[in-house]
Amino acid sequence: MELVWNRIRDPHLIARRLTLGDLGFTPDPSLPERCSSGFAFYHYTWADRIDAILGEGLRASRALNCPRPPGNLAGKCAIAGFLVPLPAWLDACPYFGDLGRRLARQYVGDTLLRAVVPDASRYYVADCAHRLQRRHYQDMGERVLTGPYDLSNPDDVRQAYVDSYISIGDYDGGHVAPVCHLVLDAPGIAVPPGRIDVCRRQPFREHPCGGLAGLAGAGGRVIPLRPGSRGHSD
């Protein structure tokens, strides 16, 4: 995998496209789920937003926040999701335990959607392990993973996170805690409603405290939650 170095500030160097797996850390087994018309994108939301999403689509609105975004990502915004319905690293990361699940419960909803994204050029996989490591450092005062950045500096951690972006078509594993980002030039609809379904199995509802190892890493057949729900199940 090609190394491209971005200088943040001396002596901090951030490697782009060098995964933590390449450095010897145990990666999550999640891989991109290809389907007949693109790649699957799993996204958790709140139940009271379902009707709006099925009617209008999934919206990207959060700005990519790092000191020096790569040229192709400068000024962009994104919406986050997962490669699979319930990644193993949420509940059983070999370095951070269930920290991912505990943080997810604070920031994401409990209703799982599956979208199909035909345009791979704006679909990236990033490593959330950089963010997990900063939280672990704040809580425990120790560094777990190798990283040429200052864990006490949130800008360095944000930079490492964005620098871990790999295009979905090129990603073949390697991230410790992979998350997906759909990137747009400006706030707007990232996935139209006709490409979104509500999953029949709802991991965060069925196992609110974690431990759904059987679903982690599985593609997960998508079925509309109720008759008339729009979308493709591919």
Q: Tens digit of pLDDT per residue, the chain (234 long)? A: 333 333 333 233 344 467 899 889 999 999 999 988 999 999 999 999 999 999 999 999 998 888 888 878 888 999 999 999 999 999 999 999 999 999 988 888 999 999 999 989 999 999 999 999 999 999 998 888 876 678 888 998 998 899 899 999 999 999 999 999 999 999 999 999 999 999 999 998 876 655 433 333 333 334 343 333 333 333
The residues near 3 (Cβ < 8 Å, ≥ 6 apart) are 15, 16, 17, 18
> Quick one: pLDDT at residue 207?
65
Domain edges within the chain: 4-206
Report CA-CA distances (Å) from 11 to 6, 16, 154: 11, 16, 16
AA identity, residue 135:
R
Q: What is the pLDDT of residue 221?
A: 38
State how far the Cα of 12 lies from the Cα of 147, in Å rounded to an integer.
9
Distance, first Cα to last Cα, the chain? 31
Cis peptide before 187 (omega within 30 of 0): no
pLDDT of residue 122: 93
Report the greatest alpha carbon distance in the chain. 58
The pLDDT value given to residue 15: 45
